Structure 1
Amino acid sequence: MNFTAYLQSKQYSGSTVSRYTEGIENFLTWLHREDIKEELFTYNDVLDFMRHYHSKGISKRSVHNILCMVRHYCNYLISEGKRTDNPAAGVFIKVLVRKLPTNLLSIEELEELYKQYSIQLSVDGSKKIMLGLMIYQGVTVGEIMRLQRHHFKLKDGKIFIPGTKRSNERSLDLKAVQIPELQSYLNANKFKEGALFFEQIKTPVSETNINNRLQYMFKQLKQLNANVINAKQIRGSVITEWLRKNHLRQVQYMAGHKYVSSTTRYQANNLDDLQSELERHHPMG
């Protein structure tokens, strides 16, 4: 399988496949000029390549995009058995680094939030279910919007979360406390097709309505805990807690991360020193 076919197998769009293929051809040309084999280039070679592009006046954003292509190419080489590592995985561009998780909530706070949400506030069952999926399965808002009836296997106590271009599919355990609300909601919506918790998005107005609904939900949650911010904060808190109790690769699966580097950001022992590490290793200060 060549790199183009690899990208197509990952269901990337035609324009993305073309752009990535062209970008890697430029990278391979540079490797050849430097007399470096594609199976043997190193972390430092990636830095040199990025400095080369930056010296030509190419913006950091463009170099960042090229770096993403090199990461994908390394994963392709690994899948073909030509490499066992991805030297581009630890390279970041200053200013373009993803934000570190902050203002995390403890698992005790999250569980108390779930417990009190429907007790103290007047909310419909779907909202408590959505909150439970965020707290116990670390599900994103986008994933909740795409869930359908057949994704829930209550007899097995499981939920299947489909993958996307940005995330991997996974099957996760449901907590016993979630089952009654889910059973009631599924029975009440027995014949509903498509998105289970939202109407299908057909226009920008519908999307706005969904965002407004979620904003109101978090406004309610702030009444119970003033430290609550948004769904990303809850997901970050959940993944951080998972990493305290589970193996890194297991948490990568549970979170649906395509790359383990996305998971390591949440390791408790990394949160304090990750920023300084990025400052020391970024190639273009």
Structure 2
Amino acid sequence: MTLYEYLESHYTPATVESYHREITIFLSSYPSASMATYADLISYLGVLRERYNNAATLNRILCSIKVYYDYLCCTSRRSDHPARSILLRDQRSRDVQLQDLFTGEELERLLDRKERYQALYYRNRVLMGLLIYQGLKPQEIAAIGIQDINLEVGSIYIKSTPTTNSRTLSLKPGQILLFYTWLREVRPQLLKGADSDVLLIGHRSRSMSADDIVKHVISSYKNVYPGRSVTAQAIRGSVIANLLAQGHDISVVQRFAGHKYPSSTERYRQSQVEALKSAIEQYHPMR
């Protein structure tokens, strides 16, 4: 298995390109990287620290280096992982930016977008519903197969990703009829006889990738809320933050979001639930 094949089997296309680029730079500047020790990598990062003063850049490079050694371990080229325990002191801020959040009412308004083509209306409503009601990540949506949907009980199975756990979530009542029409009537028309188990179909009967989903949201809703960017990430963050603001237990929200660690969910609480609710209402008053 080549490095690129390994990356393709574990990450989204955009992440593959980012990691591959950084790893290529790492290997070109450190030819003996395959035999490096923990101390060697610490020294290498020290050199990078003198070159870059941006914590996000250093973290991106370190993540790429760790993935490179993940690959070596996976392909049995090394039995140890010299970078696994390395953490940077100047960790980039992972605080949720309140100004990027949307209220539940604002999220619902995103479903009112007019579509020129009826087929795309159903597909895009299914897509946006998964973002707004289930709070899914683009890569999770892209991986959903028709076999993962159970309309009889109104549920959908979400596969695990490198950063989220698998889980089964309930569909809203309004989603069930929408899914039924999409699966039984509209989706077969878009496939035009092609065979596919993927839920969402995009251009030329091909499945929608995570990148396609990200681009669709940005291009479709860029002018809806002036001054704020409507992105898949912002929508997911808003869903999680709003659940916490409504008083749901953090362990329940963690399972809903698929977070591997409670600390990932805790970031959306911003000190206390009431403070978060007040901040959301201050930035985005209900109309």
* Structures share fold, TM-score greater than 0.5: yes
Alignment deviations for residues 53-84 of structure 1 (CA, whole Å, 9 cap, x no partner): 68x9465648966xx99xxxxxxxxxxxxxxx
Which residue in the other structure is 1:141 paired with? 138
Which residue in the other structure is 1:220 paired with? 220
Which residue in the other structure is 1:195 paired with? 198
Q: Which runs of 5+ in 2 are unaligned?
A: 1-8, 12-34, 50-57, 68-84, 276-287
Q: What is the aligned-residue RMSD (CA, Å)? A: 4.5
Alignment deviations for residues 113-143 of structure 1 (CA, whole Å, 9 cap, x no partner): 22x1248997521111100100000011111
CA distance in 1, matches of 2:88, 2:239: 25
Which residue in the other structure is 1:96 paired with? 92
- The answer to whether the Cα contact below 8 Å between 1:101 and 1:233 also exists between their aligned partners in 2 is no
Which residue in the other structure is 2:237 paired with? 236
Query: Is 1:269 aligned with 2:271?
Result: yes
Normalised by the length of structure 2, the TM-score is 0.56
CA distance in 1, matches of 2:137, 2:46: 38
Amino acid paired to 2:220: Q
- The answer to whether the Cα contact below 8 Å between 1:134 and 1:231 also exists between their aligned partners in 2 is yes
Alignment deviations for residues 182-207 of structure 1 (CA, whole Å, 9 cap, x no partner): 1101112469533221469xx9xx86
Aligned-partner SS, 1:137: coil
Aligned-partner SS, 2:93: coil
- 1:236-255 matched pairs, under 5 angstroms: 236-244=237-245, 245-255=247-257
CA distance in 1, matches of 2:271, 2:242: 12
Alignment deviations for residues 14-53 of structure 1 (CA, whole Å, 9 cap, x no partner): xxxxxxxx99x969xxxxxxxxxxxxxxxxxxxxxxxxx6
Aligned-partner SS, 1:180: helix
Query: Is 1:179 aligned with 2:176?
Result: yes
- 1:35-184 matched pairs, under 5 angstroms: 57=46, 61=58, 93-94=89-90, 96-98=92-94, 100-102=96-98, 103-114=100-111, 116-118=112-114, 123-184=120-181
CA distance in 2, matches of 1:168, 1:107: 24
Amino acid paired to 1:163: S
Q: CA deviation at 1:257?
A: 1.0
Amino acid paired to 2:255: Y
- The answer to whether the Cα contact below 8 Å between 2:131 and 2:137 also exists between their aligned partners in 1 is yes
Structure 1 residues 215 and 64: CA distance shift in structure 2, 3 A: closer
Normalised by the length of structure 1, the TM-score is 0.57
CA distance in 2, matches of 1:129, 1:184: 10
- The answer to whether the Cα contact below 8 Å between 2:94 and 2:267 also exists between their aligned partners in 1 is no
Q: CA deviation at 1:157?
A: 1.0
User: Which deviates more from structure 2 when the two are superposed, residues 121-130 or residues 166-175?
Assistant: 121-130
- The answer to whether the Cα contact below 8 Å between 2:142 and 2:209 also exists between their aligned partners in 1 is no
Amino acid paired to 2:241: T
Residue identity (%):
26
CA distance in 2, matches of 1:125, 1:97: 38
Which residue in the other structure is 1:81 paired with? none
User: Which deviates more from structure 2 when the two are superposed, residues 244-253 or residues 140-149?
Assistant: 244-253
